[in-house]
Amino acid sequence: MKKYLTLIVGIIILVALIGCKEIQQSVFDEIYQNAKVTGYGIKEITYEEFVKIRNSKEVYVLLDVLSTESFNNRHIPGAKSFPLGEINSFSAEKRISKNVRVIVYCASFSCQASTAAAKLLSSFGYKVLDYKGGLEEWGDKGNKFVSAE
């Protein structure tokens, strides 16, 4: 009887833990799930959503898809340079693990590089969000840039 009681208590604890894990969705995943989908099928995020993901301390890769020169001049802290012209399935696989969440950005709302990069990376199987405001909005909100120099 004691053995069965221990087994039942163990199952109840396991079910409770699984239930809690399902309820605790990551900030990135929650925003990804609710993100605005563009006409290109890309999920765009606002500045506020971007900052919320940054402040969550969750693991993601932030990609600056502008030229290397632009990246070296200024970029959002924590970003990695991956120019749009260098993105293909082979280079993406070499640089980004498939299970890592990705946020791309470019110069501004009118710049289409981040949308094109998001479209490519999504087609390769990555979970990608496009921060459309890019460098311009980041700076306009009073945030600092870093340079590679």
Going residue by residue through the chain (149 aa), what tens digit of pLDDT does each one get? Answer: 655 556 554 556 555 555 544 456 799 999 999 998 988 889 999 999 999 999 999 999 999 999 999 999 999 999 999 999 999 999 999 999 999 999 999 999 999 999 999 999 999 999 999 999 999 999 999 999 999 86
CATH number, domain 25-140:
3.40.250.10
Domain residue ranges of the chain, discontinuous segments joined by +: 25-140
Q: What is the pTM of this model?
A: 0.82
User: With the C-alpha atoms ordered 128, 129, 130, 136, is the resulting torsion angle positive or negative?
Assistant: negative
